[in-house]
Amino acid sequence: MENKSINMEINEKVLKPFSGMAMLLILILLVIASIAAEVWGIGTENVSVMIIAVLVFCVACLLFGGLKVINPNEALVLTIFGKYYGTIKSHGFFFVNPFVTGRNPVAEKQGGSEGLLEELADSNKKNKTKKATMSKKVSTKVLTFNNGTQKVNDAMGNPIIIGAIVVWKVANPTKAVFNVDDYFQYLSTQCDSTIRTIARLYPYDNMDEGDTDEKTLRGSSQEIAETMKGKLQERVEDAGLEVLEVRITHLSYAEEIAAAMLQRQQAAAVISARQKIVTGAVGMVKSALDQLGEEDIVVLDEERKAAMVSNLLVILCGNREAQPIVNSGTIY
Q: What is the pLDDT of residue 55?
A: 92
Asked if pLDDT for residue 141 goes beyond 80, the answer is yes
What confidence category does residue 58 fall into, taking pLDDT thresholds of 50, 70 and 90?
very high
Query: Is the pLDDT assigned to residue 149 strictly greater than 70?
Result: yes
Whether pLDDT at 111 is above 60: no
128 has pLDDT over 60: no
How much is the pLDDT for 234? 92
Name the more confident of 10 and 331: 10
> How far, in Å, are 32, 71, 73, 137 from residue 177 at the CA level?
39, 18, 16, 10
Helix axes 255-294, 302-317, angle to 10 degrees: 140
Task: Give the C-alpha separation, 189 to 169, whole Å.
Answer: 16
* Residues near 216 by beta carbon (within 8 Å), at least 6 away in sequence: 202, 203, 204, 205, 206
What is the percentage of the chain residues whose pLDDT exceeds 90?
20
**Which CATH number among 3.40.50.720, 3.30.479.30, 3.40.50.2300, 3.30.70.1400 corresponds to the domain 138-253?**
3.30.479.30
Of 44 and 270, which is predicted with more confidence? 44
Secondary structure (H, E, C), the chain:
CCCHHHHCCCCCCECCCEEHHHHHHHHHHHHHHHHHHHHHHHHHCCHHHHHHHHHHHHHHHHHHHHEEEECCCEEEEEEECCEEEEEECCCEEEECCCCCEECCHHHHHCCCCCCEEEEEECCCCCCEEEEEECCCEEECCCEEEEEEEEEEECCCCCEEEEEEEEEEEECCHHHHHHCCCCHHHHHHHHHHHHHHHHHCCCCCCCCCCCCCCCCCCCCCHHHHHHHHHHHHHHHHHHHCEEEEEEEEEEEEECHHHHHHHHHHHHHHHHHHHHHHHHHHHHHHHHHHHHHHHHCCCCCCCHHHHHHHHHHHHHHHHCCCCCCCCCCCCCCC
Q: Where are the domains of the chain?
A: 4-103, 138-253, 258-317
Most confident of 29-43, 102-116, 213-227: 29-43
Report d(CA 193, CA 235) in Å as an integer: 10
pLDDT in tens, 272-296: 777 777 777 777 777 777 776 676 6
Average pLDDT, the chain: 78
pLDDT at 131 over 70: no
pLDDT band with cut points at 50, 70 and 90 for residue 126 = very low
pLDDT digits (tens, 9 = 90+) for 255-266: 776 566 666 666
Among 66-75, 189-198, 203-212, 216-225, the minimum mean pLDDT is found in 203-212
| pLDDT grade for 187, boundaries at 50, 70 and 90 | very high
Q: Read off the pTM.
A: 0.66
Write down the pLDDT at residue 93: 92
pLDDT the model gives residue 236:
92
Residue-level pLDDT at 278: 75
Per-residue pLDDT of 153-179, as tens digits, reads: 888 878 888 889 999 999 999 999 988
Q: Which residues contact 243 (CB under 8 A, 6 or more apart)?
A: 166, 167, 168, 229, 232, 233, 236
